[in-house]
Amino acid sequence: MQAVTLGPAGTYSHRAASAVAEDVEFLESVTGIVEAVADGDYPRGVVPIENSIEGSVTGTLDALADNDVAVVRELVTPIRHALMAQSAEFDTVASHAQALAQCRSYLETEYPDAKREAVTSTARGVEHARADSSVAAIAHPDNAEELEVLAEDIQERTSNATRFFVVAPADERSRAGGKSSLVVYPGANYPGLLLSLLEPFAERAINLTRVESRPSGERLGDYVFHLDFEAGLYEERAEEALAEVEPLAENGWVRRLGSYDTQHVLDG
Ligand SMILES: O=C(O)C(=O)Cc1ccccc1
């Protein structure tokens, strides 16, 4: 199976995608990846959704609200960051914004004067470091090749895990799986709205594993809600909960991203 993910080669997304596809192609934006799958250009896309230290990847959330795709699996993988450069003499650290944030304390302690440069992916930062001796990169240590690995395991906490979604064309949406994801745009704003969106799950003992709000882009204070819960859409209790949620969004919409299982991908 072919999958498209965040490139160039060597990103954490690439490592995760290799667990589900033999043929991995690259794009440089999560929005572009979700759009390419929605347009039928690729059968699968692998996008980072959430990190245990830094939280949501907002570009991915917004792309899932804006495009009609299915989520068919989630991948959970540990993230271990290394600092690499041509030598210890550098003045800039280039990496993906999430990786820079995940190594904030290390950088503040060890390299307080180094500039931080956010680039489109960790592997793109490595390319900068290869081309320019004043630049160090934060990436998976396997990317180092001729670069010197100056430090390993520089992330904030030992359990730096990232979730990735495997997205597929909308017609491959499944109701089977232990978890499900929804995007809800109520198109309304009144006291207790969020409570009434969540109560149908609580009343049926369905555990919510993630609740995120994102600005709808329409006006200030208008939100799209992203919900993940531990039940399959095939289950009667999930169907019942949705039957209560959908009328609350009569001025907006509810997107069922689908049900899926979790696959843990080990590093190395
Ligand atoms: O830039 C990468 O390597 C990615 O795949 C995105 C990312 C960045 C930091 C942690 C996890 C995923």
Q: What is the pLDDT of residue 96?
A: 96
Is the predicted pLDDT of residue 220 greater than 90, yes or no?
Answer: no
Q: Which atom of ligand 1 is nearest to 15's Cα?
A: 5
Pair (211, 243) in one structural domain: yes
Ligand 1 pocket, residue 6 CB under 6 Å: yes
Complex ipTM more than 0.95, yes or no: yes
Pair (135, 176) in one structural domain: no
Pair (167, 233) in one structural domain: yes
| 3-state secondary structure string across the chain | CEEEEECCCCCHHHHHHCCCCCEEEEECCHHHHHHHHHCCCCCEEEEEEEECCCEECHHHHHHHHHCCEEEEEEEEEECCCEEEECCCCCCEEEECHHHHHHCHHHHHHHCCCCEEEECCCHHHHHHHHHHCCCEEEEECHHHCCCCEEEEECCCCCCCCEEEEEEEEEHHHCCCCCCEEEEEEECCCCCCCHHHHHHHHHHCCCCCEEEEEEEECCCCCCCEEEEEEECCCCCCHHHHHHHHHHHHHCCCCEEEEEEEEEEEECCCC
- CA–centroid distance, residue 177 to ligand 1 (Å): 26
Pair (56, 132) in one structural domain: no
Pair (167, 226) in one structural domain: yes
Is the predicted pLDDT of residue 20 greater than 70, yes or no?
Answer: yes
Pair (202, 255) in one structural domain: yes
Q: Which atom of ligand 1 is nearest to 140's Cα?
A: 3
Ligand 1 pocket, residue 174 CB under 6 Å: no
Pair (166, 253) in one structural domain: yes
pTM score, whole prediction: 0.95
Distance of alpha carbon 82 from alpha carbon 93, whole angstroms: 12
Q: What is the pLDDT of residue 255?
A: 97
* Final residue belonging to a domain, choices 152, 175, 210: 152
- CA–centroid distance, residue 27 to ligand 1 (Å): 13
- CA–centroid distance, residue 92 to ligand 1 (Å): 19
* Final residue belonging to a domain, choices 106, 131, 152: 152
Q: Which atom of ligand 1 is nearest to 48's Cα?
A: 12
Q: Domain residues for 55?
A: 2-78+161-264
Residue 119: how many CB atoms within 10 A of its CB? 20
Pair (180, 224) in one structural domain: yes
Pair (72, 97) in one structural domain: no
The average confidence (pLDDT) of the chain is: 95
Mean pLDDT along residues 19-37: 97
73-93 pLDDT, tens digit per residue, is: 999 999 999 999 999 999 999
Mean pLDDT along residues 212-226: 91
- CA–centroid distance, residue 14 to ligand 1 (Å): 9
Nearest CA to ligand 1 atom 3: 11
Q: What is the pLDDT of residue 268?
A: 61
Q: What is the pLDDT of residue 174?
A: 98
131-161 pLDDT, tens digit per residue, is: 999 999 999 999 999 999 999 999 987 668 9
* Final residue belonging to a domain, choices 124, 152, 180: 152
Q: What is the pLDDT of residue 245?
A: 98
CATH code for the domain of 107:
3.40.190.10
Pair (93, 224) in one structural domain: no
Q: What is the pLDDT of residue 240?
A: 98
Pair (69, 193) in one structural domain: yes
- CA–centroid distance, residue 200 to ligand 1 (Å): 35
Pair (176, 74) in one structural domain: yes
What is the number of domains present in the chain? 2
Ligand 1 pocket, residue 160 CB under 6 Å: no
